């Protein structure tokens, strides 16, 4: 029997974390031939994830440039991927989320009339410029995709509102929860020597990440000032900020926080260190989407350093709060959690609105069904 050739395509750190369990699941099925293609929109940060999950890409487009523009990422991906698709002729490509890799890979597949499966489909803020350019990346990918793997029922509802055929939407949970099942351990020893060198005993740790394009400049400065205010106010708090490799992020973070002894500015962590650091943290402050999904599963309160979120489920469940990007507001919300145990306990409840660890299984099941290789549809998350 001819094998079904499925090509997952990804290129940045978060996409890789969330596609890794799906690659593993594809490999488990003898009737499928997975061909893994990375754009390497990120180089070092992607390679870290590939190492941890022991994934060897079949194709590496190696597109990253220092200080790359959106246009360069788009043009280089489209150009290089088109040749690969022409040669490989996969039965379906799988793209993830809302990065430029996701949208442009979908466009390249569309030009070759290759079916597209969109993993993590249907997240929306309804603000074209925030997150920028991710909101339009995911919307445009949705317009091109043939199968939509929506993590939650509210993501599914967003797609239905855009006129997507209900039969082509599968509610699967988010694959990030699948990934977490293998990474978090009680006796875990950090692989980062920077992290191992930070004395954590007796400290309440606030883990920070902030790097979004729309937060660069003034908003990121406000976030850094808030971090200084918080460590000035609390002797028992230490902040660990894993700083993205984007030079624009690093300049601001090191300029404003570099001389604060209670703030540890460390390099981006590999995914296993990050998940285990979150598990040992008191609070998470972040503008990342993935952390908003992961921390609630660990019962950690999250302050989101943005004006809106496309992930309302954990806000509704009470473990995530929108802190915005104003210094005073961020400081006030963090102080409330640090001062008031009852408030803290209300937020620090483990909830799993994003998945049950079986998203990859449902996605592969749905693909087999769509290609007539299974008779039944997967049960919804
Ligand atoms: C991208 C995604 C964003 C995702 C984020 C996760 C788009 C438009 N944005 O944003 O959705 O949340 O990745 O990190 O696709 N760099 C390195 N080495 C690396 C990684 C990045 O040097 O391993 C530097 C490069 O100089 C690059 C810059 O970081 O120019 C920015 O990377 P880029 O992929 O353009 O955008 P992100 O802000 O990372």
Residue 5, SS3 per DSSP? strand
Can you give the pLDDT at residue 77?
Answer: 98
Residue-level pLDDT at 247: 96
Report how far residue 344's alpha carbon sits from residue 301's, in angstroms, rounded to the nearest whole number: 8
User: CB–CB of 98/75 below 8 Å?
Assistant: no
Instruction: Report CA(130)–ligand 1 centroid distance (Å).
Output: 16
**Which residues lie below 8 Å from residue 319, measured CB to CB, with a gap of 6+?**
295, 296, 299, 300, 301, 302, 347, 348, 349, 351
User: What is the position in ligand 1's atom list of the atom closest to the CA of 131?
Assistant: 11
Ligand 1 atom at shortest distance from the alpha carbon of 289:
12
Q: How far apart are CA 314 and CA 95, in angstroms?
A: 24
Residue the block writes with tokens 């090191």: 254
CA nearest neighbour of 4 among 26, 31, 24: 31
Per-residue pLDDT, 288? 95
Angle at 137 between CA 136 and CA 143, to 5 degrees: 85
| pLDDT in the model for residue 151 | 98
Q: Tell me what pLDDT residue 53 has.
A: 93
Tokens of 93: 């490509």
* Ligand 1 site-directed mutation target among 19, 49, 245, most atoms within 8 Å of CB: 245
pLDDT (tens digit per residue) in 99-128: 999 999 999 999 999 999 999 999 999 999
> Cα(292) to centroid of ligand 1, in Å?
18
pLDDT of residue 256: 98
8 Å CB contact between 40 and 63: yes
Substitution site in 14, 16, 64 for ligand 1 pocket (most atoms within 8 Å of beta carbon): 64
Mutate to test the pocket of ligand 1, among 9, 10, 11, 12 (most ligand atoms within 8 A of CB): 12
- Which residues share a beta bridge with 284? 207, 302
| Predicted local confidence at residue 352, as pLDDT | 87
The pLDDT, as a whole number, for residue 149 is 98
343 Cα to the center of ligand 1, angstroms:
35
The three-class DSSP label of residue 353 is coil
Q: Best of 41, 216, 267, 304 to mutate for ligand 1, by most ligand atoms within 8 A of CB?
A: 41
What is 126-140 written as a DSSP string?
S-TTSSTTHHHHHHH
3-class DSSP state of 60? strand
Residue whose pair of structure tokens reads 């499925």 in the numeric block: 6
Return the axis-axis angle of helices 327-339 and 218-233, rounded to nearest 10°.
30
Question: Which pLDDT value is given to residue 340?
Answer: 97
Full DSSP string of 149-176: EESSHHHHHHHHHTT--GGGEEE---HH
Q: Quote the ligand 1 centre to 70 CA distance (angstroms).
A: 10
- Ligand 1 atom nearest 45 alpha carbon: 23
Q: Which residues of the chain have pLDDT under 50?
A: none
pLDDT, residue 181, reads 86
Ligand 1: centre distance to CA 72 (Å): 12
DSSP state of 183: T
Distance (Å) from CA 61 to ligand 1 centroid: 16
The pLDDT tens digits for 10-69 are: 999 999 999 999 999 999 999 999 999 999 999 999 999 999 999 999 999 999 999 999
Tell me how far the alpha carbon of residue 42 lies from the centroid of ligand 1, in angstroms.
6
Q: Ligand 1 atom closest to Cα of 99?
A: 15
Give the pair of three-digit tokens for residue 224. 């850094």
Residue nearest to atom 9 of ligand 1 (CA): 99
Nearest ligand 1 atom to alpha carbon 12: 13
Residue 41 Cα: closest atom of ligand 1: 34
- What CA–CA distance (Å, rounded) separates 123 from 308? 12
Exposure string (b/e) for 277-310, b if CB count within 10 Å is 16 or more? bbbebbbbbbbbbbbbbbbbbbebbbbbbbbebb
Residue 296 confidence (pLDDT): 92
pLDDT at residue 30, as a whole number: 97
Radius of gyration of the chain (CA): 20
Q: Which residues pair with 4 in a beta bridge?
A: 32
**Separation between Cα atoms, residue 105 and residue 82, nearest integer Å:** 9
**Structure tokens belonging to residue 250:** 């690093």
pLDDT of residue 1: 77
Whether 344 contacts 335, CB under 8 Å: no
3-state secondary structure of 285: strand
Annotated catalytic sites, by residue? 98, 120, 134, 211, 213, 244
Start-to-end Cα distance in the chain: 31
Q: DSSP assignment of 185-241, as one string?
A: -TT---S-HHHHTS--TT-EEEEEE---GGGTTHHHHHHHHHHHHHHHH-TTEEEEE
Query: Which two tokens mark 349?
Result: 């409840």
Single out the residue of 69, 51, 178 nearest to residue 120, CA to CA: 178
Q: How far apart are CA 344 and CA 300, in angstroms?
A: 9
Lining residues, ligand 1, CB within 6 Å: 12-14, 41-45, 66-68, 70, 73, 98-100, 133-134, 211, 213, 245-246
């Amino acid at each position: 029997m001819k094998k079904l050739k499925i090509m997952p395509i990804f290129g940045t750190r978060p996409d890789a974390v969330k596609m890794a369990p799906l690659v593993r699941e594809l490999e488990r099925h003898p009737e499928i031939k997975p061909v893994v293609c990375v754009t390497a929109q990120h180089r070092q940060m992607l390679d870290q994830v590939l190492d941890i999950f022991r994934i060897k890409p079949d194709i590496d487009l190696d597109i990253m440039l220092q200080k790359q523009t959106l246009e360069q990422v788009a043009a280089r991906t489209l150009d290089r991927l088109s040749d690969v698709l022409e040669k490989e002729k996969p039965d379906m490509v799988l793209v993830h989320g809302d990065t430029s890799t996701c949208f442009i890979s979908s466009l390249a597949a569309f030009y070759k009339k290759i079916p597209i499966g969109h993993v993590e489909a249907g997240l929306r803020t309804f603000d074209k410029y925030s997150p920028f350019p991710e909101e339009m990346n995911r919307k445009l990918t949705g317009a091109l995709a043939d199968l939509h793997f929506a993590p939650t029922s509210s993501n599914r509802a967003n797609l239905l509102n855009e006129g997507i055929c209900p039969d082509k939407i599968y509610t699967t949970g988010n694959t990030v929860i699948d990934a977490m099942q293998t990474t978090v351990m009680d006796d875990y020893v950090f692989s980062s020597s920077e992290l191992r060198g930070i004395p954590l005993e007796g400290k309440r740790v606030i883990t920070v990440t902030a790097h979004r394009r729309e937060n660069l400049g003034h908003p990121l400065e406000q976030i850094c000032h808030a971090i200084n205010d918080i460590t000035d106010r609390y002797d028992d708090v230490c902040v660990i900020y894993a700083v993205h490799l984007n030079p624009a992020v690093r300049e601001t973070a090191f300029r404003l926080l570099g001389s604060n002894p209670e703030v540890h500015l460390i390099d981006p962590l590999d995914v296993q260190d990050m998940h285990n650091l979150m598990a040992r943290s008191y609070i998470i402050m972040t503008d990342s989407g993935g952390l908003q999904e992961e921390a609630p599963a660990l019962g950690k309160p999250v302050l989101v350093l943005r004006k809106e979120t496309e992930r309302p489920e954990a806000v509704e469940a009470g473990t995530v709060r929108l802190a915005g990007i104003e210094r005073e507001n961020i400081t006030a919300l963090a102080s409330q959690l640090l001062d008031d145990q009852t408030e803290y306990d209300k937020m620090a409840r483990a909830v799993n609105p994003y998945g049950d660890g079986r998203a990859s299984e449902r996605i592969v099941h749905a693909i087999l069904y769509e290609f007539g290789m299974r008779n039944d549809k997967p049960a919804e998350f």
